[in-house]
């Protein structure tokens, strides 16, 4: 005979099984988007709580007392996958997940930068990101029938190597690597990888010339 207690136990087992299924699915998807390779998928399957956590931490950081460097450091340690105390990040800052953003060392991230880290964003040492820079791993289908659902997205990692300067309001798209020591001009849209040691600019961004000793500022010009 089926009792009410038996029904309740069965219901609890079913709920527990479903919860475990969701947890396993979440772990698999999070692990996948942390990989250093492109993907295409349904964004609705990415656990919303992961993004909600990043939004909360960004909200707290952007409203933090500018003089409270201890709290700022604590928030960024919790937000980023790899963080160093020598990273200087200005508000307003926004990202998708945070755990996919990795700093190797000193970096300056100026005001109003956005990082859509649906794939890993790897930022080298001594990197300067000007105001309004966007690092966008995420994309959408080009074919309109796929795109109109609003659910499908593509994503590919971004790598900014050591000693790179990206000028104000430049956008770097998914799958791009910017080589060591290069400079990206303000307002550029970088859709393809840029080699090391060059000046590149434009929409779309293209290499203008190599950087040379002639680009050094004459020390006598420094006033302070």
Tokens of 176: 């791009």
Contacts of 203 (CB under 8 A, 6+ apart): 187, 188, 189
SS3 category, 120? coil
Tokens of 1: 């005979």
Closest residue by Cα to residue 176 from 161, 198, 197: 161
Q: List C-alpha distances in Å: 197 to 17, 190, 201.
A: 55, 16, 13
Catalytic residue numbers, as ranges? 140
Q: List C-alpha distances in Å: 56 to 4, 63, 92, 117.
A: 42, 11, 13, 16
The angle formed by the CA atoms of residues 191, 147 and 21, to the nearest 5 degrees, is 100
Q: DSSP assignment, residue 119?
A: S
């Amino acid at each position: 005979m089926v009792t009410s207690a038996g029904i309740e136990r069965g219901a609890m087992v079913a709920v527990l099984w479903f919860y475990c299924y969701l947890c396993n699915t979440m772990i698999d998807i999070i692990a996948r988007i942390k990989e250093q390779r492109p993907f295409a998928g349904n964004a609705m399957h990415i656990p919303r709580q992961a993004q909600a956590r990043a939004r909360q931490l960004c909200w707290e950081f952007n409203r933090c007392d500018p003089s409270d460097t201890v709290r700022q450091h604590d928030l960024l340690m919790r937000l980023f996958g790899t963080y160093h105390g020598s990273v200087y990040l200005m508000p307003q800052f926004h990202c998708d997940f945070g755990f996919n953003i990795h700093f190797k060392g000193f970096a300056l991230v100026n005001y109003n930068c956005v990082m859509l880290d649906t794939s890993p964003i790897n930022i080298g040492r001594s990197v300067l990101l000007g105001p309004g820079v966007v690092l966008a791993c995420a994309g959408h289908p080009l074919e309109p029938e796929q795109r109109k659902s609003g659910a499908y997205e593509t994503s590919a990692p971004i790598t900014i190597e050591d000693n790179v300067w990206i000028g104000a309001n430049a956008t770097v798209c998914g799958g791009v690597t910017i080589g060591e020591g290069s400079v990206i001009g303000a307002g550029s849209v970088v859709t393809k990888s840029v080699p090391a040691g060059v000046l590149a600019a434009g929409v779309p961004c293209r290499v203008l010339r190599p950087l040379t000793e002639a680009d050094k500022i004459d020390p006598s010009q420094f006033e302070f």
